[in-house]
């Protein structure tokens, strides 16, 4: 299966882009870059000089070989301090967060703001535009775009199909609305929109616990609902229209809780923080994550908490087993509260996935916790950096000549 979806996921990176992506994801030894690019030393040198000329990378001389040693030192290549950044914004159930991220995954300070109530699209996206405009007004580095992570399936043109937890109407054209709001504030930058869990998967693949996996399955739960993503050969699998990996609606409990999608017993309502609290007979407070995490921590000594943790862990395992059967991943990364469940019930989770999975390999699929603190935010910035990572020269040339970039991935509006 090859990854499909909208540009940039279908874009073929240039050689310059492939080299920049390697440095971006932590391959900094020049001899290693030469191997991975499949180029001669001379050709690699030319590519790196071009990237240096664009002020995207710089070369640090390697240590001289020991006296009497042979061979040349292998220089290190790192991201140039003047390289551009992208902005990532994540809309949560309770809040909105903003972060600027440079090449190499180097992040700045997170700005977080409570969602306005009612959290209508106009109110939320107006707040996003205000936060982004304020950040751009004081930015010291060039910004190549804004990535927006939403708790919704997102179509290829940047339209939120159904942000159910935010009570948004069906089909909000988020990319074009946000682009217009930013333009009205004097900022014309590309706006790219994606599903939050999809984007988190991409970030874990490039900078976290999914690094090096060829078929990475990511499943997570944050403030509300369950999401997932699949990264194949380094690219997000978005499906034909952008909706792939809506894992929350896999049924895991026949006749279970009613789901907002109209079905019963979906992973979304059987394995998220409120399901865990309900299993222990507790109410759903706001914010919910601290209460859910406290319950997981209490499961070490409290039998009722332990029973709730194991019940939800078994349902999560049922969902993972279905996904493992379909996708045959070589690694599963769990995020949010699911990583907490893994920390206290790893053996139970792994045994249940193996018991339920048809594929023999399932028992051997590594299941690990995510490593990034804010993977959705980082992933949002990743998609905004993607055009630069695919074709650095063209993006920087367009930027310099003040043309608006013509990428239309996941909804570009400017």
Kindly tell me which of 261 and 311 has the beta carbon lying closer to Zn ion.
261
Hey, what's the torsion of the CAs at 212, 222, 161, 173, to 10 degrees?
A: -90
Kindly tell me which of 259 and 280 has the beta carbon lying closer to Zn ion.
259
φ/ψ (deg, to 5) at 348: -60, -45
> Residue 86, class by beta-carbon neighbours within 10 Å (0-12 exposed, 13-18 middle, 19+ buried)?
buried
Specify the stretch interacting with Zn ion by CB under 5 A; choose among 92-100, 171-179, 218-226, 258-266: 258-266
Q: Are the C-beta atoms of 231 and 370 separated by less than 8 Å?
A: no
Cis before 118? omega within 30: yes
Kindly tell me which of 275 and 380 has the beta carbon lying closer to Zn ion.
275
Of 266, 349, 354, 377, the one binding Zn ion by CB under 5 A: 266
Q: DSSP assignment of 120-158, as one string? A: -HHHHHHHHHHHHHHHHHT-SS-EEEEEEEESS-B-TTS
Specify the stretch interacting with Zn ion by CB under 5 A; choose among 19-27, 86-94, 266-274, 288-296: 266-274
Kindly tell me which of 94 and 268 has the beta carbon lying closer to Zn ion.
268
Question: What part of residues 238-257 is at the interface with Zn ion (CB under 5 A)?
Answer: 249
Q: Shortest gap between Cβ of 292 and Zn ion (angstroms)?
A: 20
Which residues have CB under 8 Å from 124's CB, separation 6+? 91, 96, 115, 116, 166
d(CA 151, CA 165): 7
Q: Shortest gap between Cβ of 253 and Zn ion (angstroms)?
A: 11
Regarding 263 and contact with Zn ion (CB under 5 A), the answer is yes
Kindly tell me which of 226 and 380 has the beta carbon lying closer to Zn ion.
226
d(CA 56, CA 80): 5
Q: Where are the alpha helices (DSSP H) in 25-138?
A: 30-37, 41-53, 121-137
Specify the stretch interacting with Zn ion by CB under 5 A; choose among 7-15, 210-218, 263-271, 365-373: 263-271
Of 128, 259, 276, 316, the one binding Zn ion by CB under 5 A: 259
Regarding 101 and contact with Zn ion (CB under 5 A), the answer is no
Q: Shortest gap between Cβ of 263 and Zn ion (angstroms)?
A: 5
Kindly tell me which of 139 and 261 has the beta carbon lying closer to Zn ion.
261
Q: Shortest gap between Cβ of 165 and Zn ion (angstroms)?
A: 12
Of 211, 241, 261, 278, the one binding Zn ion by CB under 5 A: 261
**Inter-CA distances, 86 with 83, 127, 132, 389, Å:** 10, 18, 11, 12
Q: Shortest gap between Cβ of 211 and Zn ion (angstroms)?
A: 31
Cis before 287? omega within 30: yes
Q: Shortest gap between Cβ of 261 and Zn ion (angstroms)?
A: 3
H-helix or E-strand spanning residue 110: none
Kindly tell me which of 15 and 263 has the beta carbon lying closer to Zn ion.
263
Specify the stretch interacting with Zn ion by CB under 5 A; choose among 89-97, 207-215, 223-231, 267-275: 267-275
Q: Shortest gap between Cβ of 332 and Zn ion (angstroms)?
A: 21
Kindly tell me which of 269 and 367 has the beta carbon lying closer to Zn ion.
269
Kindly tell me which of 258 and 366 has the beta carbon lying closer to Zn ion.
258
Specify the stretch interacting with Zn ion by CB under 5 A; choose among 54-62, 185-193, 261-269, 374-382: 261-269
Q: How many residues bind Zn ion (CB under 5 A)?
A: 6
d(CA 56, CA 70): 31
Q: Shortest gap between Cβ of 313 and Zn ion (angstroms)?
A: 20
Strands 76-79, 57-60: parallel, antiparallel or unpaired by DSSP?
antiparallel
Regarding 224 and contact with Zn ion (CB under 5 A), the answer is no
Q: Shortest gap between Cβ of 270 and Zn ion (angstroms)?
A: 9
Question: What part of residues 108-167 is at the interface with Zn ion (CB under 5 A)?
Answer: none
Kindly tell me which of 58 and 249 has the beta carbon lying closer to Zn ion.
249
Q: Shortest gap between Cβ of 264 and Zn ion (angstroms)?
A: 8
| Sign of the C-alpha dihedral computed for residues 326, 330, 333 and 338 taken in this order | positive
Quote the tokens at residue 223: 């403030």
Kindly tell me which of 177 and 312 has the beta carbon lying closer to Zn ion.
312
Q: In 10 A of CB 292, how many CB atoms?
A: 27
The SS3 call for residue 357 is: coil
- 3-class SS shares of the chain: helix, strand, coil, % to 5: 45, 20, 40
The SS3 call for residue 173 is: coil
Where on the chain is the footprint of Zn ion (CB under 5 A)? Answer: 249, 259, 261, 263, 266, 268
């Amino acid at each position: 299966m090859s990854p499909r979806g909208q540009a940039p996921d279908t874009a073929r990176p240039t050689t310059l882009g492939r080299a920049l992506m390697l440095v971006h994801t932590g391959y900094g030894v020049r001899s290693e870059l030469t191997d991975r690019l499949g180029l001669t030393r001379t050709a690699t040198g030319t590519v790196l000089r071009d990237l240096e000329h664009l002020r995207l990378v710089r070369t640090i001389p390697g240590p001289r070989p020991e006296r009497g040693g042979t061979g040349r030192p292998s220089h290190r290549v790192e991201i140039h301090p003047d390289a551009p950044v992208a902005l990532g914004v994540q809309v949560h159930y309770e809040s909105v967060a903003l972060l600027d991220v440079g090449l190499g995954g180097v992040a700045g300070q997170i700005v977080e703001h409570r969602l306005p109530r009612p959290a209508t699209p106009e109110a939320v996206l107006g707040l996003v535009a205000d936060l982004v405009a304020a950040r751009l007004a004081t930015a010291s580095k060039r910004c190549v775009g804004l990535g927006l992570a939403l708790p919704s399936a997102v179509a290829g043109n940047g339209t939120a199909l159904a942000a159910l937890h935010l009570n948004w109407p069906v089909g909000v054209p988020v990319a074009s609305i946000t682009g217009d709001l930013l333009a009205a504030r004097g900022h014309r930058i590309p706006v790219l929109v994606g599903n939050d869990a999809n984007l988190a998967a991409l970030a874990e693949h490039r900078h976290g616990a999914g690094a090096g996996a060829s078929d990475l399955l990511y499943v997570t739960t944050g403030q509300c609902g369950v999401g997932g993503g699949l990264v194949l050969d380094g690219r997000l699998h978005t499906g034909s229209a952008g909706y792939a990996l809506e894992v929350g609606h896999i049924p895991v409990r026949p006749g279970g809780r009613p789901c907002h999608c109209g079905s019963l017993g979906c992973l979304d309502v059987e394995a998220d923080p409120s399901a865990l609290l309900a299993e222990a007979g507790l109410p759903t407070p706001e914010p919910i994550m601290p209460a859910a995490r406290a319950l997981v921590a209490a499961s070490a000594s409290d039998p009722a908490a332990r029973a709730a943790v194991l019940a939800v862990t078994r349902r999560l395992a049922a969902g993972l087993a279905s996904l493992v059967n379909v996708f045959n991943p070589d690694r599963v990364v769990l995020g949010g509260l699911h990583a907490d469940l893994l920390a206290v019930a790893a053996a139970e989770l792994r045994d249940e996935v193996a018991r339920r999975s048809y594929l023999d390999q399932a028992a051997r699929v590594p299941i690990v916790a995510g490593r990034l603190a804010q993977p959705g935010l980082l992933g949002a910035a990743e998609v905004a950096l993607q055009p630069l990572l695919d074709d650095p020269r063209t993006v920087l040339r367009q930027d310099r000549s003040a043309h608006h970039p013509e990428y239309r991935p996941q909804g570009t509006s400017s």
